[in-house]
Amino acid sequence: MSLEKLTVYKIKEHITSFDEFINETDGKRRPLPPLRPIRIENAPAGVEVQASFSHKKHETQKTAADVPWIVFINEGTDEPINFNCRNTFPCAVVAIKITTQNISKFYALTFGLGAETFLDNEKIVRDFGLRVAMNICDTEKLRRIQTNIHEAVSTHAERQISTGSNLSVFQINDEKEFLRSVTGVARAEYNFIKSFTGKDNISLKIKNDNPLNWESLIPKLQTLEDAYNQDNYLQVFQGYSKFHFENDPNTIQQLDSEVFERIRNGNFENIHLSPPEFTDFESRYFTYKAEGGDQHDDLSVDDFITSRRAFSDRSSINSLKTHKIYVWSSETGNKVTSWPVYRCLVAEIELNNDTYILSMAQWKKVSTDFKQEVEDYVSDIPSNQSAYLTNNVSIWDAQRNQNREEIYNQELYNTNNDIFLFDKAKVHIAGERIYEVCDLLHSDKSLIHVKRLKSGSASISHLFLQGKFYSDAFISDQKCRESMREHITENHNERPTQAFTDILPDNRNDIVTNDYTIIFCILTEKADPDINSLPFMARYELMHSHKHINQALGFKCEYKLVSVVLGPP
């Protein structure tokens, strides 16, 4: 008997036995069937093979209350639809140990829905499938690529092509996007693979004329191992090398301990929560308790900590790995799914002079060369020296009992006739009047974007994103400039307006972009702020925004770090 599909996980190098990576219980702490021996005969010469397997049934149940359209119809009829369905699926895992020249490597093969329940996720090599995929792919026959971006709200993207194409068609920003999965067709030398998807595992469709059976299994696993260890992927997927997957258990333990202690002590700088997968925010809400409780439209470390008792002295990172975030349908009120808090954590940690990023439960190390590239670039970005962006302004909003950046904007507007307030203005861009093209407009042709640095790069990513977006709109959208002039004439409060309207011409050809300056004004409570004290990912985002605004659009682009006063007087 031969297989048409195969899913393979690689197990970390420090593992020495099956029971170190095969779970005894599932996610609900129910016992899983024990491993049983299985024969793999006719191994290649010089290769020793040991294997075991386990299997179970995976059951799901749905009733009428779980199907939104049935609920909708039943609300309007006296003869409701009755629906109750229970499905049973088999699943299994095969654990394999391959020993060559006294060096042992472990793999897990999974079959059927829910088979990953058998595996301890912390023991798998998280970049195995992705690296194999990048190394075996025919670069002209890629079909689908998934990425995510480390930002204030971590962005997930999926690009799919109906027929195979090369990487350039997918328009991946390899300096900014982390690859999550690659799907495509293998090169000719991998003649047993019809197609593949690589992520933490590698899923293969096997060619009919080169079948996978017990006799050919071990050589094919060795082929995948060889593919994992190649580095030819760097020729095409160049950005991947800038963020290395960290697989060393000691390093991961240190990083996990550091991020947990920060959360335990209420230090959320460079730490936030974000859904680890595509989520429809319009039809979902979140809770931090299984039975429901307070509903949240977004995820927040503050809200999570508020929802639970204080961590005990015995608590560790495992508390974040076992505690769940629950996702509910706002249409039916039913629970949709749940995620471990750890899987939702996004964090940046410095360890031994290296920078690590935690995203989707995986630590990535920023390459030294790339880190230096970012630092060198940012050091050349001009720091704005305008005296009108003043320090030591209180941003306390007594009515809301909060520190808010609009207080700073209002103060500058009130004390300087050369500044016009655009904070909360609804400017016409791309057919909609919902945007504020900047927070402050200065008559010296400066468009100023203001944001308070509250928790590292997470709080200012939107600052850099809106700077890029609004700079594009200002130069390309005549309606945007017209709408800015309208806002000025309708909200001048007896303030002279000509100095502002004159720098907003109708005709695009009348704009010399190099005469205008885009300023990122970052508010911080630090007394003597320095650009190098910003988290790496903040400087990383600043570099990208500056490249676009300055090099692509031609504007001058500068930053200003401003010390402000927090709290009530």
pLDDT tens sequence across 392-451:
999 999 998 889 999 999 999 999 999 999 998 889 888 887 778 999 999 999 999 999
Higher per-residue pLDDT: 543 or 291: 543
Counted residue by residue, the chain has a size of: 569
Q: In this structure, is the dihedral angle defined by the CA atoms of residues 447, 453, 455 and 457, taken in order, positive or negative?
A: positive
pLDDT higher than threshold 60 for residue 493 = yes
Q: Which helix (H) or strand (E) holds 484?
A: helix 478-490
The total of other beta-carbon atoms located within 10 Å of residue 343's CB is 21
pLDDT of residue 150: 54
Least confident of 149-158, 483-492, 536-545: 149-158
- What's the pLDDT at 146? 80
pLDDT of residue 502: 96
Measured over the CA atoms of residue 14, residue 18, residue 20 and residue 22, the dihedral's sign is positive
Predicted local distance difference test score (pLDDT) of residue 167: 53
For residue 8, pLDDT beyond 90: yes
The predicted structure's pLDDT at residue 379: 96
Query: CA-CA distance, 525 to 568, in Å (whole number)?
Result: 14
* pTM (2 d.p.): 0.72
| Over residues 302-312, mean pLDDT | 88
Ordered by start, the domain boundaries in the chain are 5-145+159-165+176-232, 249-366, 371-565
Q: What is the pLDDT of residue 479?
A: 94
- Assess whether pLDDT exceeds 70 at residue 155: no
Q: pLDDT (tens digit, 9 = 90+) per residue, 510-541? A: 999 999 999 999 999 988 889 988 888 888 88
3-state secondary structure of 517: strand
Site of tokens 């300096």 = 175
DSSP secondary structure of 357-406: EEETTEEEEEPHHHHHHHHHHHHTSPBP--TTS-SSEE-EETTTTEE-HH
More confident: 136 or 46: 136
Quick check: helix, strand or coil at residue 549? Answer: helix
Task: Report which of 81, 88, 172, 183 is spatially closest to residue 134, judged by C-alpha positions.
Answer: 183
The β-bridge relationship of strands 84-100 and 393-394 is unpaired
Percentage of the chain surpassing pLDDT 90? Answer: 59
Dihedral (CA of 163, 217, 181, 168) sign:
negative
Q: Taking 50 as the threshold, does the pLDDT of residue 170 lie above it?
A: no
Query: What is the Cα–Cα distance from 213 to 2, expressed in whole angstroms?
Result: 5
Radius of gyration of the chain (CA): 28
What was the pLDDT predicted at 130? Answer: 94
What pLDDT does residue 153 have?
44
Residue 163: both structure tokens together:
């027929």
Share in percent of the chain as helix, strand, coil (round to 5): 30, 35, 35
Q: How confident is the model at residue 500 (pLDDT cuts 50, 70, 90)?
A: very high
Give phi and psi for 147, each to the nearest 5.
Answer: -135, 165
Strand partners, 119: 22
Q: Please say if the pLDDT value at position 490 is more than 50.
A: yes
Q: How confident is the model at residue 152 (pLDDT cuts 50, 70, 90)?
A: very low
User: Which is more confidently placed, 143 or 415?
Assistant: 415
pLDDT of 175: 59
Q: Which residue has the higher pLDDT, 150 or 7?
A: 7
- Lowest pLDDT segment from 122-131, 334-343, 529-538: 529-538
Segment 372-381 mean pLDDT: 95
Q: Are 145 and 242 in contact (CB under 8 A)?
A: no
pLDDT 10s digits, 52-62? 999 998 777 88
